[in-house]
Structure 1
């Protein structure tokens, strides 16, 4: 009990200290915005009264001051955001699970994103951050934010135009499945799987001899398309109980999930648009619901271990 009280007192102390930094950063940003607005106003007035040169020269003073202030405080903002993740989020995670840690600059490596076979397009631009990892009972797991994109280029009379398209934006969850699979088994949303099925053979993520696995759960087959090179192993993994658990997990998700079982791991992709664990700049750190939403996602991810019964060690790694 005393340990819990001390932990909360320590967290409150850190919050109070960071709140001072946050206010300074927020006030400086506001001053910068005022200076930028003043620069624009001076320029507009100068042009309106037909003294363009005076407007241009006059706007440079607040503009330069604003830019210098902005870049100076931007370094402080980065340090503040890092301290928030390491100290505030890091401490709060321990209330969910003592083993949980956060590594803001780490994430899911791009090679693992590709080898997970969750997606059928190789990224041209890849960002990942905020790796949270831990152990639930005997199962090691982790998850990170990922934003993967590919580009297309079109040519017209004005030159080449590059357009970026999102492959995936959200959280990818990885757990030790305690089984070395002989082949990969991939479960994708039915609509996406139908659309890409015709060009698997020529894609960088070629499924080779993979076949569609027909499963006995009608609802599961309506929602997902399952691919594997080994029909028997796929059915061994996707037992009736496992399929029901995946359907239940999918109902709790904002969008349809994708899952793969490959090597000795299970990967689950949760499409999400919100960035998590970001320190507020223009709202107080002392708000009572500061971490409620973000921590609910962490709890949700940890609950997957129990939802999918991954702690039941029915197989041993060979």
Structure 2
């Protein structure tokens, strides 16, 4: 606990520095505005743009430089303690394999694939793992002059969670955010709130209802509200896949949030991990969804 208090002191000191950086960034932006306004034939819109751009660029650059050490310390100390409190293993530089990520075919195959912050272990006899992942696809465009332009579009950025039940589901079932679909039967669930958030597809309508019990649907909705991010789930073979689309590195700490107290970022991470484990528990107790010869 002593290390956490020392880390909190480091965070508070960092906040003071960032406030000073924000003030200086505004000064840099103002200087950029004046320079462009008086030396670019008084183009007001361009001058405003360059002023804002200079402010944001300078602040982001210095902020990343100042927070890099704190982020590393946070992962080595705070995250390590959070993960170990559940009896799990944490590897900050490792991540889920590409073959595991792509198996459910929810997302396009990426051209670039990376990640970090792998957590793995077992809960009530069910082995599981999750990590941050970032995947992109290469987009090539040819303009009217025949010049080729290459850019990269994000496919997935967030947490991929996979649990292995060592017994097969009797069907393939998906619960996907409303903007996604797969080539299986569309199932209408009897939970109106769940229907607003997810499209359910399955190779077996009866088994889809067995899997997505009222309790499990409530847990999934609670998970979505907790993370405040789109979720996609797949139940196939002997695994459940949960994709949480944060759009950022989920384990990077918010320096504005305290590390101690009832509203600390550490307690928030514990609550998020516990909600994921509760879904494992809910499925593990539901024997109807698994093939009878493997129970």
Is the CA contact 1:174–1:268 (under 8 Å) kept in the aligned structure 2? Answer: yes
| Whole-Å separation in 2 of the counterparts to 1:40 and 1:240 | 57
Partner of 1:187: 174
| Whole-Å separation in 1 of the counterparts to 2:189 and 2:28 | 64
Three-state SS of the structure 2 residue aligned to 1:280 is coil
Is the CA contact 2:231–2:242 (under 8 Å) kept in the aligned structure 1? Answer: no
Three-state SS of the structure 2 residue aligned to 1:224 is strand
| Whole-Å separation in 1 of the counterparts to 2:218 and 2:255 | 37
Root-mean-square deviation (CA), in Å?
4.2
Three-state SS of the structure 2 residue aligned to 1:153 is strand
**Alpha-carbon spacing, 1:129–1:49, altered in 2? closer, same or farther (3 Å):** closer
Pairwise CA distance, 1:45: 5.3
| Whole-Å separation in 2 of the counterparts to 1:243 and 1:36 | 51
| Whole-Å separation in 2 of the counterparts to 1:47 and 1:272 | 37
Partner of 1:178: 166
Pairwise CA distance, 1:169: 3.5
Is the CA contact 2:165–2:284 (under 8 Å) kept in the aligned structure 1? Answer: no
1:277 aligns with 2:265: no
| Whole-Å separation in 2 of the counterparts to 1:214 and 1:22 | 48
| Whole-Å separation in 2 of the counterparts to 1:260 and 1:162 | 36
1:137 aligns with 2:121: no
Of the three residues 271, 286, 290, the one matched with 1:296 is 271
Of the three residues 178, 198, 201, the one matched with 1:225 is 201
Is the CA contact 2:130–2:160 (under 8 Å) kept in the aligned structure 1? Answer: yes
Partner of 1:54: none
After superposition, the C-alpha distances for 1:179-213 in whole angstroms (9 at most, x for unaligned) are 368x993525396665x64xxxxxxxxxxxxxx46
Partner of 2:8: 19
Alignment of 1:143-182 (within 5 A): 143-157=130-144, 159-179=147-167
Alignment of 1:80-159 (within 5 A): 80-95=70-85, 97=86, 99-114=87-102, 116-157=103-144, 159=147
After superposition, the C-alpha distances for 1:201-255 in whole angstroms (9 at most, x for unaligned) are xxxxxxxxxxx4688x8659x841225xxx7xx97xx375323265444433434
| TM norm structure 2 | 0.67
Is the CA contact 2:167–2:291 (under 8 Å) kept in the aligned structure 1? Answer: no
Three-state SS of the structure 1 residue aligned to 2:255 is coil
| TM norm structure 1 | 0.63
| Whole-Å separation in 2 of the counterparts to 1:46 and 1:252 | 51
Pairwise CA distance, 1:128: 2.4
Is the CA contact 1:276–1:294 (under 8 Å) kept in the aligned structure 2? Answer: no
| Whole-Å separation in 2 of the counterparts to 1:17 and 1:138 | 36
Pairwise CA distance, 1:298: 0.7
Is the CA contact 2:88–2:119 (under 8 Å) kept in the aligned structure 1? Answer: yes
| Whole-Å separation in 2 of the counterparts to 1:219 and 1:42 | 60
Pairwise CA distance, 1:122: 0.4
Task: Give the number of the structure whose alpha-carbon radius of gyration is greater.
Answer: 1
Three-state SS of the structure 1 residue aligned to 2:14 is helix
**Alpha-carbon spacing, 1:276–1:316, altered in 2? closer, same or farther (3 Å):** farther
Three-state SS of the structure 2 residue aligned to 1:281 is coil
| Whole-Å separation in 1 of the counterparts to 2:64 and 2:246 | 27
Could you list the runs of 5+ residues in structure 1 that have no partner in the other structure? Answer: 1-9, 51-62, 198-211
Is the CA contact 1:150–1:164 (under 8 Å) kept in the aligned structure 2? Answer: yes
Partner of 1:60: none
Partner of 1:306: 281
| Whole-Å separation in 1 of the counterparts to 2:175 and 2:283 | 17
Pairwise CA distance, 1:14: 1.4
